[in-house]
Amino acid sequence: MGNISFLTGTSATAPQSVDEAIYQLESSSVLFLASWNRTPQDLTRAARASREAMVHLDHIVNEIMRARDHLKSNSSYAGSNLKNLLDTNKAKAAMPVTRAEQANIAILGPGNGVLPTAGSPLTMEKLLNKIKHRGHDYANFRVGSNGEHIFIITADKPNQQPDSIVEFVVSDFCEHCMNVAAVI
């Protein structure tokens, strides 16, 4: 009769845990950097690692935000360990920005992404929201002076007007997410 797991809700593979998604995001970032830094560059492998990383990143963001929303609905978010972790600064954001500044992120070329200004600290909670609502047309990255993978994204306001350009270090994000995962 074939595979009917889509009808019953059962699956041959269990949903990915947050811990596994964090590990896979970190691994994808390492593979991406290795492919990017190789001579000659392996852009096919870098692109594949990047696509896989986005799947894991989205899963992590959704699970953490779901846990936050659950605590808020139970009136137990204020003062919680999760709130304290999400109130920690984990990114930098330039805002307000123009659409031209957002578009410039892509125009700079792969590996040359930078904020248009020095940027201001951004909490983990706000970073998660920016990631969740990121624009898919304008994103970039750079390799930091210590070899770190810095991801740059753009986000719009709910009315589709430009809001911000955000950057974060992928390995720092993953490390902090492991701390968050321990309390959700």
What one-character-per-residue DSSP string does 67-82 give? Answer: HHHHHHHTT--TT-HH
pTM comes to: 0.89
Are the beta carbons of 99 and 162 closer than 8 angstroms? Answer: yes
pLDDT at 16: 81
Instruction: Give the type of residue at 85.
Output: L
Residue 59 is inside which H or E element, if any?
helix 43-73
Are the beta carbons of 152 and 165 closer than 8 angstroms? Answer: yes
Alpha-carbon 166 to chain mean position: 10
More confident residue, 9 or 99: 99
Percentage above 90 pLDDT, the chain: 88
Enter the tokens of residue 76. 């137990």
pLDDT digits (tens, 9 = 90+) for 44-85: 999 999 999 999 999 999 999 999 999 999 999 999 999 999
Are the beta carbons of 31 and 45 closer than 8 angstroms? Answer: yes
CA distances in angstroms from 23 to 33, 83, 117, 171, listed in the order given: 16, 23, 32, 10
Look at the block and give the residue holding tokens 């957002």: 102
Lowest mean pLDDT of 7-11, 35-39, 55-59, 91-95, name the range: 7-11
Sign of the alpha-carbon dihedral angle for 137, 56, 18, 115: negative
For the chain, state the CA radius of gyration. Answer: 18
pLDDT digits (tens, 9 = 90+) for 146-166: 999 999 999 999 899 999 999
User: How many C-beta atoms surround the C-beta of residue 106 within 10 A?
Assistant: 17
